[in-house]
Amino acid sequence: MSGNRGLYVGRFQPFHKGHLYAVRIVLEEVDEVIVVIGSSQFSHEVDNPFTCGERIVMVRGALEEASVALSKYFLVPVPDVDNHSVWVAHVKAHTPPFKKVFSNEALTSRLFVEAGYEVNPIPFYERETYSATNVRKRMLSGGDWKTLVPASVAQFIEQIDGVERVVQLYKNDRVN
């Protein structure tokens, strides 16, 4: 039933070209990928500026732009849980059955390995450049963040006045 399905987890704050690259890599290994939008409940925070709904728009737009068929992926928001030791069970309850996990994060990998899953690393795509932290940093410094994300994501962020939000959240964090 879980057929040849893989799981890929990210926070996508925002979704960038490194994420897109990872989705492509995963789809070379499996028939369908479950893209989990992690920490789905957070937004309007320095490290989590975008809402779950905004991230859904970004991921779907970016995959459409990249010609990844809707039939090849599930897009599933999953909120955090307090206790890491139930996180794998929590993810399983939120998602269609899957067999393989794809991750480069030490904690995600550790938790799935302890739960008996096969975890596959994903080769990074110029990690120093293509990271959500770097995208937000460039937004704050007025740098070129648009080349780091798919065109549709850049356009959407501008539509929702996203850079200004990131700047204001950063200011707030400095003061408090």
Which residues contact its own copies by CB under 8 A? Answer: 1, 40-45, 51-53, 56-57, 60, 70-71, 74, 76-77, 79, 81-86, 88-90, 92-97, 105-107, 109-111, 159-160, 165, 168-169, 171-172, 175-176
CB of 144 to its own copies, least distance (A): 24
CA angle 57, 62, 63 (to 5 degrees): 105
For the chain, how far is it from start to end, CA to CA, in angstroms?
50
CB of 22 to its own copies, least distance (A): 15
| Residue number with CB closer to its own copies (122 or 144) | 122
CB of 24 to its own copies, least distance (A): 19
| Residue number with CB closer to its own copies (29 or 47) | 47
The full DSSP string for 142-159 is T---GGGS-HHHHHHHHH
CA distance 3 to 164: 43
CB of 101 to its own copies, least distance (A): 15
CA distance 112 to 93: 14
